Amino acid sequence: MNNYKTMRSSGRARREFKNSIFIGYARHVENENEAKAFIKEIKELHADANHNVSAYIVKEGSSFALRYDDNGEPAGSSGKPVFKVLESKGLYNAAVVVTRYFGGIKLGFGGLSRAYRETAISAIEEAGTVEVFEEVRLRMRFGYPEIQKLKNLIEKYGRVEEEKYSDAVEFIFLVKKSFEEQFLEKLAKLTRNEVELERL
């Protein structure tokens, strides 16, 4: 997965279904620990709520963590619909918690699923989504006359992070993973392989 969608910022939404109050929270997380900490934070914030239902999808390296929790609601009625929203929107490194304050009227399985799903969608829409590109980090050493043309090439495929100038020039830079092969081909042609290059 070279690029993926995630939450742009944090989102919060409040919905009401047959007197029950549903409050949704959506947030970008970097890893599973952050997802768990976010869920814990919302559970503590709404310790007096009847339920704090949660779901997250996290990608760390090549492994995935996929979890949902009904938190006392009928099995499959709440955590799974929230998880399905993340899945259908193609969101990764994203966590959602939907808090419910029971209003005295039972919603039934279908009603519950809809309420949790719609609240999750509202919170995610409030947060907004953004596309994230996976990048590779490289270090390159070369002579001073090459500076401008190499800088131009890097900026076409990524961005320079650090520049060091001594007897030679050293750039530490990021290239979008999906463009890495293309970049290396162009670099080889441009420099006839006369640069030192290493992947960090």
Dihedral angle sign, alpha carbons of residues 45, 88, 121, 78: negative
Calculate the average pLDDT of the chain: 92
Domain boundary (132, 164, 189) is at 132
Q: Which two tokens stand for residue 42?
A: 């919302």
Task: Using the predicted structure, report yes or no on whether residue 2 has a pLDDT greater than 80.
Answer: no
pLDDT in tens, 182-199: 999 999 888 887 788 888
Higher-scoring residue by pLDDT: 135, 40: 40
Adjacent-strand bridge partners of 146 = none
Domain boundary (132, 148, 169) is at 132
Given a contact cutoff of 8 angstroms between Cβ atoms, the answer to whether 10 and 127 are in contact is yes
CA distance 26 to 28: 7
Domain boundary (93, 108, 132) is at 132
Task: Using the predicted structure, report yes or no on whether residue 54 has a pLDDT greater than 90.
Answer: yes
Full residue range of the structural domain in which residue 155 is found: 135-199
Q: How confident is the model at residue 177 (pLDDT cuts 50, 70, 90)?
A: confident
Q: What is the CATH number of the domain that holds 87?
A: 3.30.230.30
- Decide: pTM greater than 0.75: no
Task: Using the predicted structure, report yes or no on whether residue 131 has a pLDDT greater than 90.
Answer: no
Given a contact cutoff of 8 angstroms between Cβ atoms, the answer to whether 136 and 144 are in contact is no
Task: Using the predicted structure, report yes or no on whether residue 159 has a pLDDT greater than 90.
Answer: no
DSSP structure class, residue 91:
B
> Strand, helix or coil at 101?
strand
Tell me: do 59 and 39 sit in the same domain. yes
Q: How confident is the model at residue 166 (pLDDT cuts 50, 70, 90)?
A: very high
Strand 135-142 relative to strand 196-199: parallel, antiparallel, unpaired?
A: antiparallel
